[in-house]
């Protein structure tokens, strides 16, 4: 029997395009220090530290080694994770396993990326199949745009509807002091008129590249209850891996097989039958406007082909029936190795009632996802009630 | 013909922000000065300097200047071509060691070298290569 585990504290840096005042170690230390302060703990109270980073985006390998004094791993049990877009949720799920196993009581998950210092699109190309994909594509956008075109065709979603998701993200970000792209006056027109990167994807449909770090502290039941007034209990975790070769899944956005598999497994473990009704808030790894709408469908928030309608109806706005990404999401903030862990941190903040101006009133059940890889999914469900 | 091999190359450009402590260190080198930090928790004198001690998990605020002279702790020599000698140097007052080139010395003499000092370049830019190499401090030299 796994032990009960809860998130008791979080810490984030103010995510931004470029942090020239700190190096990578110093950036990570900011987030770790804030998480420790949030729980009123010191590094001595942490039994193990897990690090997430999307190497070699900054042109180096082994950040766990040479940035150790920054992330607190010195002489502690520790592991580094590198699983693409899912890095942060993989790290979070591992931290859950560490504590649930009974081996460690208090474990910190840390994620970072200093994207301004690397060349992300070059590094992303290394994910592709060496014979086919690397020869004809470069980076993530072309790959994604092909999927977006198929999705529009399959679901009838329009560029305007996708743009609405992009607007929601940047407006919600204004309520989040840590978010990178805060655009209070952004309109659907602005998104539609922004530079076309690869049809149908325009600059404002896409996530930015950010410098940032995040730390989340997990604890077993008795310590969680002692250390946090309202811990965020881990209700369910699930991961699923898709086959990597892109041509194998022509409808990758229309039908996100790993997202469907992982979310259904997590819903079942958490006893959720109607996610739109039973979830109070979702922090999803949406990377781009089109992906957010596709994820509504694949997560079962609505029927197939209804993703556009959901955004038209305002269901996923902060004041809607199921707010999605009140933090501003990935479209506002994307330090890749931290991004999915930020989803977990933001979902936990909602459950703990500490989300400030982006708080969803009465949030009792929250979903966090990571997505990447090309198409891997991690899911974590958090609740105010003990599992 | 079953062993078909595809050859490609990856080139990843990157930049690196030196950060608070190393920025001060590198600017110091341009002025022929070597800055270290001392952790008030464990007492270690770090050069190159750390602004944060991972062992003690605390900020380091104390700075001190070190002489550009110290002890040669270890070395190795490139066996082919013109000799390139790498040394491990502990500057006077430091608890950590620097890896740098050695010069003005023949490989055969290395076993007798005890102290070395930095030989600075004239055109310094704020790089560890502002120190051209470390050279033996010979007895009788003014040091
Ligand atoms: Zn110390």
Predicted pLDDT at A119: 85
Query: What residue numbers bound the domain in which B119 lies?
Result: 19-136
B57 contacts in chain A (CB < 8 Å):
42-44, 72, 74
Tally of helices (H runs) and strands (E runs) in chain A? 16, 11
> Min CA distance, B42 vs chain A (Å)?
14
Q: Are A293 and A308 in contact (CB under 8 A)?
A: yes
**Hey, are the CB atoms on B22 and A126 less than 8 Å from each other?**
no
A:69-108 residues touching chain B, CB 8 A cutoff: 69-70, 72-75
pLDDT of residue A300: 98
Q: Indicate the number of domains in chain B.
A: 1
Nearest CB partner across the interface for B55, out of A74, A117, A134: A74
Least Cα separation, residue B141 to chain A (angstroms): 39
What domain range is A50 assigned to? 5-120+209-227
Contacts A72 to B, Cβ<8 Å: 54, 57
Q: Is the pLDDT reported for residue B141 higher than 60?
A: no
A127 touches chain B (CB under 8 A): no
- CA A89 to CA A337: how far, in whole Å? 10
Residue B1 reports pLDDT greater than 70: no
Tell whether A367 is covered by a domain: no
In the block, tokens 């595809």 appear at B6
pLDDT of res. A134:
77
Answer yes or no: is pLDDT of B140 > 60.
no
Least confident piece of the model among A60-64, A358-362, B25-29 = A60-64
Q: How many residues appear in chain A?
A: 387
Is the distance from CB of A326 to CB of A242 less than 8 angstroms? no
Choose the closest CB to A118 out of B14, B19, B55.
B14
CATH number where A90 lies? 3.40.47.10
State the ipTM, two decimals.
Answer: 0.89
Cβ atoms of residues A385 and A233 within 8 Å: yes
Structure letter (DSSP) for residue A181:
-
* Residue A247 pLDDT: 64
B17 CB neighbours in chain A (<8 A) are 19-24, 114, 117
Q: What percent of chain A has pLDDT over 70?
A: 97
Taking the CA of residue B41 and the nearest CA in chain A, the distance in Å comes to 14
By DSSP bridging, strand A376-383 and strand A365-372 are antiparallel
Q: What is the pLDDT of residues A131-145, one digit of tens each?
A: 877 777 656 677 778
Q: Model confidence over A209-267: pLDDT tens digits? A: 999 999 999 999 999 999 999 999 999 999 999 876 666 666 777 888 899 999 999 99
Torsions phi, psi of B65, nearest 5? -90, 135
- Cis check for the bond before A219: say yes or no (omega within 30 of 0): no
Rounded distance from Cα B46 to ligand 1 centre (Å): 9
Question: Residue A268 domain-assigned?
Answer: no
**What dihedral do alpha carbons B40, B41, B46, B50 form, nearest 10°?**
-90
**Which of A24, A119, A130 lies closest to B12 in CB terms?**
A119
A67 burial level (CB within 10 Å; 0-12, 13-18, 19+): buried
pLDDT band at A59 (very low <50, low <70, confident <90, very high): confident
Task: Check B12 against A59: CB less than 8 A apart.
Answer: yes
Phi-psi region of B51 (alpha: psi -120 to 50; beta: other; left: phi over 0): alpha
Contact between chains at B13 and A134 (C-beta distance less than 8 A): no
B14 → closest Cβ in A68, A69, A119: A119
Q: What is the pTM of this model?
A: 0.95
A200 CA → ligand 1 middle, Å: 53
Contacts of B53 in chain A (CB under 8 A): 69
Q: Report the phi/psi class of residue A61: left, alpha or beta, with left for phi > 0 and alpha for psi in -120 to 50.
A: beta
Taking the Cβ of residue A141 and every Cβ of chain B, the question of whether any pair is shorter than 8 Å is answered with: no
Residue A123: closest C-alpha in chain B = B12
Question: How close is the Cα of A60 to the center of ligand 1, in Å?
Answer: 26
B50 vs chain A: nearest CA distance in angstroms? 9
Q: What is the pLDDT of residues A315-340, one digit of tens each?
A: 999 999 999 999 999 999 999 999 99
User: Phi/psi at A294 (nearest 5 deg)?
Assistant: -65, -35
Closest CA to B73 of B94, B45, B53, B55: B94
A378 touches chain B (CB under 8 A): no
Distance CA A285, CA A260 (A): 14
Whether A130 sits inside 8 A of B53 (CB atoms) is no
Query: Collapsing DSSP states into helix, strand and coil, what is residue A347?
Result: helix
Distance A377 CA to ligand 1 centre (A): 40
∠A154-A160-A162 over CA atoms, to 5°?
Answer: 60
Q: Does A56 touch chain B (CB under 8 A)?
A: yes
**Rg of chain B over all Cα atoms, to the nearest angstrom:** 19
Per-residue pLDDT band at B143 (split at 50, 70, 90): very low
Residue-wise pLDDT for B59-69, tens only, equals: 999 999 999 99
Number of domain units in chain A: 1
- C-alpha separations of B52 from A153, A162, A247, A289, A360 in Å: 54, 45, 48, 40, 37
> What are B116's strand-pairing partners?
B70, B136
Check CB contact under 8 Å for B57 and A72. Answer: yes
- Are A99 and A3 a contacting pair, CB within 8 Å? yes
Residue A243: what pLDDT? 76
Expressed in angstroms and rounded, the spacing between residue A189 Cα and the centre of ligand 1 is: 55
Res A375: pLDDT: 78
Question: Does B124 fall in a domain?
Answer: yes
Contact A190, A314 (CB under 8 A): no
Which of A157-166, A249-258, A364-373, B84-93 has the weakest average pLDDT? A249-258
**How many other β-carbons are positioned within 10 Å of the β-carbon of residue B41?**
13
The pLDDT-based confidence of A81 (bands split at 50, 70, 90) is very high
| Interchain proximity A60–B55, CB inside 8 Å | no
């Amino acid at each position: 029997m796994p032990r009960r585990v809860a998130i008791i504290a979080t810490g984030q840096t103010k995510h931004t395009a470029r942090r020239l005042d700190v190096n990578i170690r110093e950036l990570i230390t900011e987030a770790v220090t804030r998480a420790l302060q949030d729980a009123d703990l010191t590094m001595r109270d942490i039994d193990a530290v897990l690090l997430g980073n999307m190497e070699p985006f900054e042109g180096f390998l082994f950040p766990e080694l040479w940035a150790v004094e920054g992330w607190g791993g010195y002489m502690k049990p520790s592991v580094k994770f590198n699983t693409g877009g899912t890095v942060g949720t993989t790290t979070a799920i591992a931290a859950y396993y560490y504590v649930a196993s009974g081996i460690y009581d208090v474990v910190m998950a840390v994620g970072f990326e200093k994207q301004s210092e690397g060349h992300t699109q070059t590094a992303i190309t290394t994910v592709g199949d060496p014979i086919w994909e690397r020869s004809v594509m470069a980076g993530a956008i072309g790959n994604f745009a092909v999927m977006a075109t198929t999705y529009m065709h399959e679901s009838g979603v329009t560029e305007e509807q996708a743009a609405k998701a992009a607007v929601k993200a940047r407006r919600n970000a204004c309520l989040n002091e840590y978010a990178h792209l805060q655009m209070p006056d952004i309109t659907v027109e602005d998104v539609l008129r922004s530079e076309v990167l690869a049809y149908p994807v325009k600059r404002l449909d896409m996530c930015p590249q950010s410098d940032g770090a995040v730390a989340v502290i997990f604890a077993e039941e008795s310590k969680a209850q002692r250390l946090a007034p309202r811990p965020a209990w881990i209700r369910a975790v699930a991961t699923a891996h898709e086959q990597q070769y892109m041509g194998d899944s022509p409808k990758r956005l229309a039908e996100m097989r790993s997202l469907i598999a992982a979310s259904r497994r997590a819903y079942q473990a958490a006893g959720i039958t109607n996610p739109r009704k039973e979830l109070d808030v979702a922090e999803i790894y949406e990377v781009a406007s089109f992906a957010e709408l596709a994820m509504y469908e694949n997560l079962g928030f609505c029927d197939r082909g209804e993703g556009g309608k959901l955004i038209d109806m305002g269901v996923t706005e902060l004041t809607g029936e199921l707010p999605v990404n009140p933090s501003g999401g990935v479209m506002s903030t994307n330090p890749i190795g931290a991004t999915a862990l930020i989803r977990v941190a933001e979902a936990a903040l909602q459950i703990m009632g500490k989300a400030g101006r982006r708080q969803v009133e009465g949030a009792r059940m929250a979903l966090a996802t990571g997505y990447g890889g090309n198409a891997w999914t991690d899911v974590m469900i958090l609740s105010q009630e003990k599992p | 013909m079953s062993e078909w091999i595809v050859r490609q190359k990856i080139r990843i450009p990157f930049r690196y922000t030196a950060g608070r402590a190393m920025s001060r260190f590198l600017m110091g080198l341009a002025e022929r000065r070597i800055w270290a930090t001392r952790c008030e928790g464990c007492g270690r004198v770090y050069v190159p300097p750390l602004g944060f001690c991972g062992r003690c998990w605390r900020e380091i605020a104390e700075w001190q200047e070190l002489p550009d002279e110290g002890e040669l702790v270890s070395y190795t020599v490139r066996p082919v071509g013109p000799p390139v000698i790498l040394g491990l140097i502990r500057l006077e007052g430091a608890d950590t060691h620097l890896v740098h080139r050695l010069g003005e010395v023949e490989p055969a003499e290395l076993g007798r070298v005890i102290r070395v000092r930095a030989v600075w370049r004239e055109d310094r830019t704020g790089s560890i290569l502002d120190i051209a190499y470390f050279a033996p401090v010979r007895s009788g030299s003014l040091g």
